[in-house]
């Protein structure tokens, strides 16, 4: 071969960087209502298109249209709106609390509220989520007390986790929320194991795994898909594609794959993409997948197409890697505003009632915060005991830990 040229490495780059004009022209968005709704026992080979399209219900006019619409009543939707507004208000207060030094760290959900709030509504008591750090909506929509969430964030004396976990890494078995890990992706395959155990035990409960677009690069993601596919585990595998893994755009983890959902196709897993900013669409797809799992039809992979409006965490500055106004250009809009507009269109809501509700929700969150702060914040007030630090490493404290606790003088 005489025509050999030196090789060069392809490194994917986002469309724009800070200073540029936000550009989402590469995000192909089908019309609301245009994607068909297959029966839950569909042969996965017949719905391969759903891994490349986006299921949407709410159109630009705020109407619910198409085959995925019509599943929720006014009351359901008003409840969903309140959940999302509560999560947003909770975020605002906790972000401020972090800035005030009341905790070390916080991660907000701005722009992604519909994903976890609507998904939770499709589950039954006893089902188990294996969440990441951006699904607090599962707790809010599941009725977990906000005061307990705040106690966890403040690592105070009433922290259900005794000050052992980073803020926002909640855990509640009772509310179907598995203990969050900071090691990315590990929970995805554990969700499959939980679901397999439910099937082994001839139970009726199902599991849901959660992972971000960036973490799909972890081996745990692939292990989860192969085990879920092999044993047809009753699990819903959720990928939240919020476009950014801290500063790394989703194209780095996605590589040459068409979409994240398309990764499920090679495993024979029904794989769908959904408008993650559309409460009705998220609920409809979640319910479809949950029903499949419950009817022993096996796993479903769902990619939520959404956008992380806020920073990755309180330690992150997104203006360093993306245009400041990029979130405003996001073509799928704001999930709270979209649901609000839909409810107004339905005649079930008004701008005035929305303003009132915003104030009420904020009052509730502030009241919870006051209650939590009575138990202390990270640097002031009550703290979990140092003695407790040595408890719970094992079911029974072994002799070497007893010695160390003694050395620590507690």
Q: Residue numbers of the site for another protein (CB under 8 A)? A: 128, 130, 160-162, 164-165, 169, 171-173, 178-179, 181, 183, 186, 189-201, 207, 219-220, 223-224, 226-227, 230, 392-395, 398-400
- DSSP structural state of residue 58: B
Closer of 208 and 285 to another protein (Cβ): 208
Closer of 317 and 396 to another protein (Cβ): 396
Closer of 1 and 394 to another protein (Cβ): 394
- Please tell me the distance from the alpha carbon of residue 74 to that of residue 224, in angstroms, as a whole number: 37
- Please report how close the Cβ of residue 172 comes to another protein at its closest, in angstroms: 7
- Please report how close the Cβ of residue 187 comes to another protein at its closest, in angstroms: 8
Residues 171 and 153 sit within 8 Å (Cβ to Cβ): no
- Please report how close the Cβ of residue 304 comes to another protein at its closest, in angstroms: 22
Q: Phi and psi for 274 in degrees, rounded to 5?
A: -140, 150
- Please report how close the Cβ of residue 137 comes to another protein at its closest, in angstroms: 20
Q: Which two tokens stand for residue 244?
A: 């950014």
Residues 189 and 233 sit within 8 Å (Cβ to Cβ): no
**CB within 8 A of 177, min separation 6: which ones?**
128, 129, 131, 138, 139, 142, 144, 170, 171
Residue 168: closest CA among 95, 235, 86: 95
Closer of 247 and 404 to another protein (Cβ): 404
- Please tell me the distance from the alpha carbon of residue 334 to that of residue 307, in angstroms, as a whole number: 9
Burial 176-189 (b: 16+ CB within 10 A, else e): bbbebbeebbbbbb
Rg over CA atoms, the chain: 22
- Please report how close the Cβ of residue 193 comes to another protein at its closest, in angstroms: 3
- Please report how close the Cβ of residue 312 comes to another protein at its closest, in angstroms: 20
Closer of 226 and 329 to another protein (Cβ): 226
- Please report how close the Cβ of residue 226 comes to another protein at its closest, in angstroms: 5
- Please tell me the distance from the alpha carbon of residue 201 to that of residue 192, in angstroms, as a whole number: 14
What's the full length of the chain, in residues?
410
- Please tell me the distance from the alpha carbon of residue 359 to that of residue 92, in angstroms, as a whole number: 13
- Please tell me the distance from the alpha carbon of residue 188 to that of residue 210, in angstroms, as a whole number: 6
- Please report how close the Cβ of residue 82 comes to another protein at its closest, in angstroms: 27
Residues 332 and 29 sit within 8 Å (Cβ to Cβ): yes
Closer of 169 and 305 to another protein (Cβ): 169
Strand ordering across the sheet containing 300-305: 128-130, 207-212, 235-241, 300-305, 271-275
Closer of 367 and 393 to another protein (Cβ): 393
Residues 302 and 236 sit within 8 Å (Cβ to Cβ): yes
- Please report how close the Cβ of residue 213 comes to another protein at its closest, in angstroms: 20
Closer of 135 and 172 to another protein (Cβ): 172
- Please report how close the Cβ of residue 129 comes to another protein at its closest, in angstroms: 11
Q: Give SS3 for 225.
A: helix
Closer of 169 and 245 to another protein (Cβ): 169
- DSSP structural state of residue 395: S
Q: Which two tokens stand for residue 26?
A: 């590469």
Closer of 197 and 348 to another protein (Cβ): 197
Q: Phi and psi for 27 in degrees, rounded to 5?
A: -85, 105
- DSSP structural state of residue 204: -
């Amino acid at each position: 071969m005489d025509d050999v040229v030196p090789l060069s490495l392809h490194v994917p780059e986002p469309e724009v960087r800070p200073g540029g004009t936000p550009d989402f022209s590469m995000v192909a968005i089908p019309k609301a209502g245009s994607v068909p709704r297959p029966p839950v026992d569909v042969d996965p080979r017949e719905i391969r298109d759903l891994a490349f399209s986006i299921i949407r219900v709410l159109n630009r006019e705020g109407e619910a249209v198409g085959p995925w619409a019509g599943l929720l009543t006014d009351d359901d939707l008003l409840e969903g709106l309140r959940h999302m507004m509560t999560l947003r208000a909770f975020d605002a207060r906790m972000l401020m609390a972090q800035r005030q030094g009341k905790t070390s760290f916080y991660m907000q959900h701005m722009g992604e509220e519909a994903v976890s709030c609507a998904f939770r509504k499709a589950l039954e008591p006893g089902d188990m989520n294996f969440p990441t750090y951006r699904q607090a909506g599962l707790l809010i929509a599941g009725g977990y007390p906000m005061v307990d969430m705040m106690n966890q964030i403040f690592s105070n004396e009433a922290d259900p986790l005794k000050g052992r976990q980073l803020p926002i890494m909640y855990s509640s078995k009772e509310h179907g929320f598995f203990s969050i890990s900071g090691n990315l992706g590990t929970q995805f395959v554990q969700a499959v194991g939980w679901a397999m155990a439910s099937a082994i035990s001839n139970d009726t409960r199902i599991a849901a795994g959660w992972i971000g677009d960036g973490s799909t690069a972890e081996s745990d993601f692939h292990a989860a898909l192969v085990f879920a596919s092999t044993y047809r585990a009753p699990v819903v595998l959720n990928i939240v594609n919020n476009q950014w893994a801290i500063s790394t755009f989703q194209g780095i983890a996605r590589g040459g794959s068409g979409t994240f959902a398309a990764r499920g196709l090679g495993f024979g897993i029904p794989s769908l993409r959904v408008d993650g900013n559309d409460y009705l669409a998220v609920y409809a797809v979640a319910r479809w997948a949950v029903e499949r799992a419950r009817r022993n039809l096996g796993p479903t992979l769902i990619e939520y197409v959404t956008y992380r409006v806020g920073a990755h965490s309180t330690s992150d500055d997104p203006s360093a890697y993306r245009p400041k106004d990029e979130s405003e250009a996001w073509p799928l809009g704001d999930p709270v505003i979209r649901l609000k507009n839909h409810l107004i269109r339905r005649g079930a809501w008004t701008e005035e009632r929305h303003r009132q509700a915003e104030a009420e929700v904020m009052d509730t969150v502030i009241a919870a915060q006051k209650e939590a702060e009575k138990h202390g914040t990270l640097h002031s007030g009550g703290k979990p005991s140092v003695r407790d630090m040595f408890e719970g490493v094992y079911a029974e404290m072994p002799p070497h830990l007893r010695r160390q606790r003694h050395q620590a003088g507690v």
